[in-house]
Amino acid sequence: MAVRHLSSGVDTGGQRPALIAVGATLLCVVVAMVLLWPDKAPQSLPDGGQQVSGTITALSTQGCEPTGLGGAMKAACGKADVKLTEGPQSGYSVSTTVPGGPGAPVVAVGDDVVLLYTPANPEELRYQVTDHERGLQLWVLLTALALAIVAFGRLRGVTALLGLGITFGVLLMFVIPAILSGRPPLLVAIVGAIGIALTVLYLTHGVTRSTTVAVAGTVASLTLTGVLAYASVEATRLSGVADETSANLGVLYGVNMQGLLLAGILIGSLGVLDDVTVTQAVTVQELAEANPSYGFRQLYAAATRVGRAHIASVINTIILAYAGASLPLLVLITAIDNPVGQVLSDQLVATELVRSAVGTIGLIAAVPLTTALAAWWGVRQPRAGAGAGGAGADHPADAAATTVTPDHAGAGVTLTALTARVRAQVEAKLASVRQ
């Protein structure tokens, strides 16, 4: 017969030791955060100008000499009149050159733009258009995203948004400032990732047995990913300086770029790990409740089959995500047409390969780790219809919320009725003993 348990958001029965362990881990994370908390503000960059906003009021363009390979790219030429809306000369109009070159913003009259104001430059070069102003558009898009999440997920959607806020809070208030202040990037990432996993998973999915299993599986998988990432980066001798941005960061702030690479691998893996671990933990719990006679091997085998199907699609998602983020690099590699071996051993390409491989291996390892832990715990919990050794629902206090659905019409009985019948028999037996 199939068993379905309608559980609430909080379920602490039978998992007190695990919750104590989770609480101890959370306490260690808090202590580590206090010790690693940045004690000084990041040093400021050399004065490179001030960003101000303005609106294009007039535009005068003209043809320019072609530039780039084969004359394929043409730099824009001309002047733009911009009315400043902020900055030291707010309200005034200034004239500046139209931005040109690859990636330069294409502007038109009426566009809101961002300008770089450099007082030390000659007067005609003090203002340079650098980008479009897109704050309003982003706020509209993010608001639409939040509304869609809440409309579909309802209360669970609200908790998911709160979890997202905590994630960004940990990253922006602890992880990034701590790295900039000189703390070890890998250690900071480990503490931050575990803190995010502990708080966000319980907030989003409730204090349940499956969530506790998912947290344990996530922490174990993160540990394995961190060890594998360290070994892979050392074996491939990656420095972490793969482009101009990372080089500037290392020079200006003295950040350990190899450690930052390891931190990036760890934090990037966390987002997919919690999806897999939660899915596996819930799958095992549902299988255990629907099949009370299943032992450890049966639960593990059945849930692993589900995990294999899930992992196949998730791996494809990871590779496509990395490929999408590195698409300009892939296009450049194709255009240069260097030998494959030379391309793959390049610092930039090798970094992405190591990042993808390590993250995927950690993701694969999360399935057997979480499934085994969930199955081990599942067979030790009382389950409805499991016989003398496992009679009763996983949560006796919620027995009225458990329904036993018959495999054949008319052949089933609710667990509530069964419990009442057993209680009546026990009371009758006690009465006879008193007499």
Give the pLDDT mean for 242-256.
77
Window from 147-151, 300-304, 353-357 with minimum mean pLDDT: 353-357
Question: Helix, strand, coil: what percent of the chain each, to 5?
Answer: 60, 10, 25
Q: How many whole angstroms from its chain centre is CA 33? A: 19
Return the top range by mean pLDDT from 117-126, 247-256, 273-282, 401-410: 273-282
Helix (H, G, I), strand (E, B) or coil at 95: strand
- pLDDT above 70: percentage of residues in the chain: 78
**Closest C-alpha to 165, from 186, 148, 181, 146:** 146
Distance, CA of 299 to CA of 291 (rounded, Å): 9
The answer to whether the pTM exceeds 0.85 is no
**Is the pLDDT confidence value at 149 over 90?**
yes
Task: Name the pLDDT band for 417 (thresholds 50, 70, 90).
Answer: very low
| pLDDT tens-digit map of 23-35 | 888 899 899 999 9
Task: Name the pLDDT band for 321 (thresholds 50, 70, 90).
Answer: confident
**Closest C-alpha to 284, from 272, 300, 297, 295:** 300
Return the top range by mean pLDDT from 107-111, 332-336, 412-416, 421-425: 107-111
Give the pLDDT confidence score for residue 67 in this predicted structure: 56
Distance, CA of 233 to CA of 247 (rounded, Å): 17
Distance, CA of 197 to CA of 272 (rounded, Å): 11
Helix (H, G, I), strand (E, B) or coil at 122: coil
Query: Listing from the earlier edge strand, what are the strands of the sheet with 93-97?
Result: 93-97, 77-84, 50-62, 112-117, 127-132
Give the pLDDT mean for 302-308.
89
